[in-house]
Amino acid sequence: MIPLVVLDLDGTVIGSRGHVEDCVWQAVDKAKAAGMKFAVCTGRPCAGVAQKVAARLALSGPHIFQNGAQIAYPSGEALKVFALKELVARSLVEQARALSLTLELYSPTTLFVERKTALGEAHAKMIGVSPIVRDLLEVAASEPVVRAQWVLRAADAPKVLAQAPTGVQVSSATAPALPDTLFVSVTQAEVSKGAAVRLLAEHLKLNLADVVAVGDSVGDIPLLDAVGFPVVMGNGDPLLKERYATVAGDVDRCGVVPVIERALTEQV
């Protein structure tokens, strides 16, 4: 049996209907009864839907949030937090103001926005988190900003990526529940899902070669590269399906279930 299965959320276990299907929970419950451990590895914050999913997967275990910038228990207790430099956060806020695009700033506990937009409100509803409207320059100066995130139409992505600050990690992702929206996440340079899963495995005293990870977007590449058993969802980015040998089914068709079932019988 594989001792640990690490799951991305959007596009992996959360599909176009915006929740984890019963078929996935049935497979998870069976695997947990046999002794398998699970962890979330997501760009979402430790709040709302992600927090609830993490708690059901492993209430007493740590999970990876904010694309690796926060490793925490579902209670919110943190094992590790990596904050952006204030100057980086400020430059992103100024860029958002100049471009009139939607930027979110996340502390370990709160989502901040400068103004309400249609894209931002749709995203907040999807993740189940109520944003706080506040001057984001004040947030950058007074809060530990672990992650900044652009919420964009795909056509606006080049404007953002062309002016990305130096010394940061930039990753992009999509969500089946908001198919026309692109999420561009900014964290510290050394922060990634891959770096975070290494810290998680060390904490759990597990060998990464014995870990399964499942993802669907290019932002999951550091996670998938770090583990012994990387799996790409059938609905995933074509680049990932070329890069990794094991491809699961579609998220909206319980595609991760056979992965969990196989992990129960895999010898490590």
| CATH number for 161 | 3.30.1240.10
Last residue of a domain, one of 188, 214, 248: 188
Question: Which pLDDT tens digit goes with each residue over 115-128?
Answer: 999 999 999 999 99
Question: Which pLDDT tens digit goes with each residue over 151-182?
Answer: 999 899 999 988 888 889 999 899 999 999 99
CA distance 227 to 200: 12
Tell the residue number behind the tokens 């860029």, with chain if given. 95
- Domain range for 155 is 86-188
pLDDT at 163: 86
In total, how many domains does the chain have? 2
CA distance 36 to 57: 10
Last residue of a domain, one of 149, 167, 188: 188
Last residue of a domain, one of 136, 167, 188: 188
CA distance 108 to 229: 30
CA distance 182 to 112: 18
Confidence of residue 205 (pLDDT cuts 50, 70, 90): very high
Q: For residue 95, what is the DSSP state?
A: H
Residue/partner pairs of 243-250 with CB below 8 Å, 24 or more apart:
248/214, 250/15
Question: Which pLDDT tens digit goes with each residue over 234-244?
Answer: 999 999 999 99
Contact 232, 215 (CB under 8 A): yes
pLDDT at 268: 52
pTM: 0.94
131 and 252 part of one domain? no
17 and 148 part of one domain? no
40 and 124 part of one domain? no
pLDDT at 2: 95
